[in-house]
Structures are given as C-alpha cells and as structure tokens.
Amino acid sequence: MTSTNDLGQSDALAPVRLARIALTWLAEPGTWSVHRLVDAYGPIGALERLLAGDVPDRRVRTAVAARRAAGDPREVAAAALAHTERLGARLVVPEDDEWPAQVRDLELMTREGAGRVVDQETAPPLAIWVRGNHPLAEALNRAVAVVGARAATPYGDHVASGLGYGLAERDWTVVSGGAHGIDAAAHRGALNAGGLTVAVLACGVDRPYPAGNSSLFDRIVETGLLISEWMPGAEPLRHRFLVRNRLIAAATIGTVLVEAAARSGATQTLRRALAINRPAMVVPGPVTSAMSVGAHELLREHPAARLVTGLPHVLEEVGRIGADLAPLARAPRQPRDLLDDESAVVLEALPRRGVLDVDALAARAGLDLRNTLRKLALLEDLELVVRRDDGYALAVPSARPTTVR
C-alpha cells in the first residue's frame, strides 16, 4: 500500500503537487500556454520546460524570469505545500479522485458570448487549494452558482439569500465568491438551510477576502469549502477576480445572477457560463435600480440568458439539465470505481511513474504471484495498466478525463 499524508492524500502524488504549485507560482492560473504544456508533457515535464525557457509565449517567459529572480520555484512550492498542510488545507490536483472534472469544459469556451473576457486568462485550473472536509468533486457534483453585486440592495440580498436557502434545502451546493452583498447573502442562505456552500476565492484560502466576511468564512469552513487556485498568502489582486469567475461558472451546473451594475464583474461570471453553454440565469429587478442595469443588459444582449424570478425557475433550468439533456461534464466515474478489492490493491501498488516488475508488485500488494498476474490482466483489459518488457506501469491517462454524460 502507498502511504498517505496527514490529510489522507496519496504521497505518490507529491511530486505532481509540487510541480503544479511551482507552475501556479511562475504563471497566473488560467494561462493557456502553461495549460497546453501540461497537457503535452504532464506537470513535471511542463515545469522543466518552463524553467528551461522552452515555451513559445513571450509574456509567460518574461513572467517566469521575473519570478525566478525572486526565489527558487521548487523551494517555494515545497514551502507552500508544507504551509498548506499546517493550515489544515489541502491541494487538489487533476490527478486526484476529488478533482471536479467539469472544469475542463473551460476548454470549450468560445469567443461568442464571452466577449472580451475570452482574452483574459481562461484555461482550466492547474490546482485548487481547499479548506474544509468535504470531497471537492462530490461537493461540486450538484452545484449552482449564485453571484451578484457587492453593493447589493436589500432587494438583491433578499432574493439571493432566498435562492441560497431554497437550493440548499433541495440538496444543491450553493457556490459563490465570498464577496460582500449578493455572494454573502447566497452563502448565508445555504448555511441557514444547513446546506453545503463553497466560496471560490481570488486569494489564498488562509486569508479569505474580504476580512469583513471572516465570521461567514469561519462558518463556511466548518461545513462547506473555501477554495482557491492561488497559494496561501496570495493577494486578492484585481485581475484575479475575473480569472476566478470562470471557475465559478465552470464548477457549477448553472449560474444565477441576482444584481449587477453595468458591465460589472458579476456579469462576467454569467458571460463565462454562457460561453461554455451552461445555463445562465438572470433575476430582473426594478429598472430604476442601478444594481439591476447589468442584469437587464445581459437579458437584452444574450438570447440564451434566461430570465428567472425565483427558485422554481432555477430548479426548472438545472433540473432539466440533470434529467433530460445532461450536457454537462460530471465528476469522472473512473473504471477503478468498479474494481474488486484485490485489483484495486494491485493498482494502488503501482508507482505513479515508471515500471515495477511483477514480483515486487506482488510483494507491495501483499498478494501471491498468480493472483497478481490475474488482476494485472484484468487491469490491462480496462486500459488502466500497460505491460512493459521489465514489468507493469500505470497507463497514461487520456488527455480528457472520462466523464459520464
């Protein structure tokens, strides 16, 4: 059996985690050229190339050079991972079972609908820091985003907390950005219903922003999750909110916008949902309110944006997805979920990288040689392992995670 860290995560993934942290530190999350490098060479290979300056994107080369002057990426990553564990947080990577596979749909984002936001950093996340006990993929498997203005009106607060409450009551996870106003109202509504809520931050999970919501964040950590693509200590820089918004849209089945000023950040979250064909719902408001201008703009500009006036309409939209159309990527249902115990043990016994001979494998798995070979044949059929001259290795996962549609 492989050993695990204090959080129950497999130690075998430590090198991958460190590489992804280093990549996050060297380039901002969402950077397309880095995402493509990782796709081609894996996180460790991508890091090597990035450090060697072997990346065509000049902007990224410049950023990497500047960062390296400030410290050694591998040391920074090691310190960050240790700090993460001390915080009681964890780093979830695409190689983990609890990775929410649906965020990969960001690759489908088109210029249409997203408008200028597509020029922002929009690639899928490299890694996600998590505070809270719930498995991430499970928490986001049945999730709706409720977002809106920081300077919400009492009307918006009322509507958002009502939606948060109602969704949570019906076992939907309520996802938002942890900001003042609509976000906080949605989180609070979900908490008051005893439901699950996830705050997606644009800064480190150790210092959730804004500080004024700290008691709210404390409540969220207790029963829900605080998550972020930035390492602990990261500042909530302005452009990070826009990058963060794409994760809110991609992590959920649909996004509801409650109040938004003209062209505000909250409207961007909805535009990103539209750009990846997720249900984008908008609550109208008084035309006399500046806090509804952005909402009405969206309804006028985007025929796909759906006017909703309350929980029944939202449930209709997301329920339809679940029941009939199911166009969304869900948490991956991996073949390993179907394995018998002994096959699972054999699979666990294989190293993440490299080849192990059958004798050593049987010893690590605690099984006899004949049984080990029988299970390896099964795993080979399932394309989970490959036979080499000198033993067996884990199969390289395909570029896209297997998703149940």
Q: Which residues contact 286 (CB under 8 A, 6 or more apart)?
A: 155, 292
Residue 112 Cβ vs its own copies, minimum distance, rounded to whole Å = 18
- Kindly tell me which of 156 and 236 has the beta carbon lying closer to its own copies: 156
Residue 214 Cβ vs its own copies, minimum distance, rounded to whole Å = 30
The whole-angstrom separation of Cα 215 and Cα 286 is: 31
- Kindly tell me which of 5 and 289 has the beta carbon lying closer to its own copies: 289
Instruction: Pick from 296, 330, 364, 375 the residue near its own copies by CB under 8 A.
Output: 296
Instruction: Pick from 288, 337, 340, 399 the residue near its own copies by CB under 8 A.
Output: 288
The whole-angstrom separation of Cα 135 and Cα 188 is: 21
- Kindly tell me which of 124 and 294 has the beta carbon lying closer to its own copies: 294
- Kindly tell me which of 202 and 256 has the beta carbon lying closer to its own copies: 256
Q: Is 293 in the site for its own copies (CB under 8 A)?
A: yes
Per-position b or e across 343-357, b if 16+ CB within 10 A of its CB: bbbbbebbeeeebbe
The whole-angstrom separation of Cα 405 and Cα 401 is: 12
Q: Is 286 in the site for its own copies (CB under 8 A)?
A: yes
Q: Which residues contact 220 (CB under 8 A, 6 or more apart)?
A: 132, 178, 187, 191, 197, 198, 199, 226
The whole-angstrom separation of Cα 188 and Cα 160 is: 9
- Kindly tell me which of 228 and 264 has the beta carbon lying closer to its own copies: 264
Question: Is 220:98 a contact under the CB 8 Å cutoff?
Answer: no
Tokens read off for 377? 């044949």
Residue 311 Cβ vs its own copies, minimum distance, rounded to whole Å = 11
Q: Is 299 in the site for its own copies (CB under 8 A)?
A: yes
The whole-angstrom separation of Cα 168 and Cα 383 is: 39
Q: Is 284 in the site for its own copies (CB under 8 A)?
A: yes
Q: Collapsing DSSP states into helix, strand and coil, what is residue 197?
A: strand
Question: Is 37:92 a contact under the CB 8 Å cutoff?
Answer: no
The whole-angstrom separation of Cα 52 and Cα 45 is: 11
Instruction: Pick from 194, 233, 310, 354 the residue near its own copies by CB under 8 A.
Output: 310
- Kindly tell me which of 156 and 332 has the beta carbon lying closer to its own copies: 156
Instruction: Pick from 52, 69, 287, 396 the residue near its own copies by CB under 8 A.
Output: 287
* Segment interacting with its own copies (CB under 8 A) among 81-89, 133-141, 265-273, 303-311: 303-311
Residues 137-196 that bind its own copies (CB under 8 A): 155, 158-159
Per-position b or e across 53-71, b if 16+ CB within 10 A of its CB: eebebeebbebbeebeeee
Rg of the chain, C-alpha, whole Å: 22
- Kindly tell me which of 227 and 283 has the beta carbon lying closer to its own copies: 283
Q: Collapsing DSSP states into helix, strand and coil, what is residue 284?
A: coil
Residue 271 Cβ vs its own copies, minimum distance, rounded to whole Å = 17
DSSP state of 10: B
Residues 244-283 that bind its own copies (CB under 8 A): 283
Instruction: Pick from 215, 238, 303, 370 the residue near its own copies by CB under 8 A.
Output: 303
Residues 358-397 that bind its own copies (CB under 8 A): none
Residue 169 Cβ vs its own copies, minimum distance, rounded to whole Å = 19
- Kindly tell me which of 45 and 310 has the beta carbon lying closer to its own copies: 310
Instruction: Pick from 62, 110, 309, 402 the residue near its own copies by CB under 8 A.
Output: 309
Residue 288 Cβ vs its own copies, minimum distance, rounded to whole Å = 7
Residues forming the site for its own copies (CB under 8 A): 155, 158-159, 283-288, 292-293, 296, 299-300, 303, 306-307, 309-310, 313
